[in-house]
Amino acid sequence: MQSIGQQRFGVGGVGTGGPHIPQPNQLSTADRLSTADRERVYQWILELASPETREHALLELSKKREVVSDLAPMLWHSFGTIAALLQEIVNIYPMVNPPNLTAHQSNRVCNALALLQCVASHQETRSPFLQAQIPLFLYPFLHTTSKTRPFEYLRLTSLGVVGALVKTDDQEVITFLLSTEIIPLCLRIMESGSELSKTVATFILQKILLDETGLSYICQTYERFSHVAMILGKMVLALSKEASARLLKHVVRCYLRLSDNPRAREALRQCLPEYLKDSTFANCLKDDTSTKRWLAQLMKNLQDVPTPSMSDPRGIPMPP
């Protein structure tokens, strides 16, 4: 008699193709679960389909996402699982506006988001995840402004899904994100979110900038560049009053990457915050050699020969 896992996930099994389940000797040390443990994982995935058993299954599977290396393909290919996760997300839309989200509701949907982050991170499932445009289901959460803990946790976990996507340095990810409103959403969170949310949002912007297409997109018009530069400037001002080495690191890296664009470099000569030019952050960065090196390189880049201006106040697109 077949086990639950064999019935649901074996080759030729039920689902969208029945992914191959690695044998124990093919798994990493961290993933060598006992047969009983893997059967429990299969059972929890089955239980996601039922509203009565879903909450407990979400909790248990979210705990296992770091130790089951093939959890993402199992989630993606099992029948109805992604639909169940999206149902969890859609079900709390009414609590987002007006903001009535409870801690329990937030924890539950964040467990679903954690599983989607697992899917977003995996090489096999990342591309179909994007093709299905699943990140767009998370954007209503990034639009929220309530500073209560349930909403902050919700925003942070949603940012984590996008952060997992950009961490892969996949061109397809950047192309997808640039077709959405992720940049203005990140900029809003960078301006008014908690320190941790600001850090993740700035990391996402940094990864977009590090891609050639992303840098060109942001520097294509005066409006885009000026919005990014304005928010980064506000962050530097805030950090001068309450320093965070972790957040400052990403801010400096964004500035350094912007300076790789000739027109942005010329504009930065006019708008780079003075706090980055003096010793304001010397104590904060005393043990951070990489950020100090980036800051020194930024100053060197801005001392080069000037290039055509990007500071047209009318917002006219920069010449090619």
Tens of pLDDT, residues 302-314: 996 555 555 444 4
Tens of pLDDT, residues 106-150: 999 999 999 999 999 999 999 999 999 999 999 999 999 999 999
**Average pLDDT, rounded, for the chain:** 87
pLDDT of residue 306: 55
Tokens 């994100």 belong to: 177
pTM of this prediction?
0.85
Going along the chain from its start, the domains and CATH numbers come out as 1-159 (1.25.10.10), 181-320 (1.25.10.10)
Residue 320 predicted with pLDDT over 70 = no
CA atoms within 13 Å, Cβ hemisphere of 51: 4
Cα-based torsion angle of the residue sequence 4, 9, 15, 19 in order, rounded to the nearest 10 degrees: 180
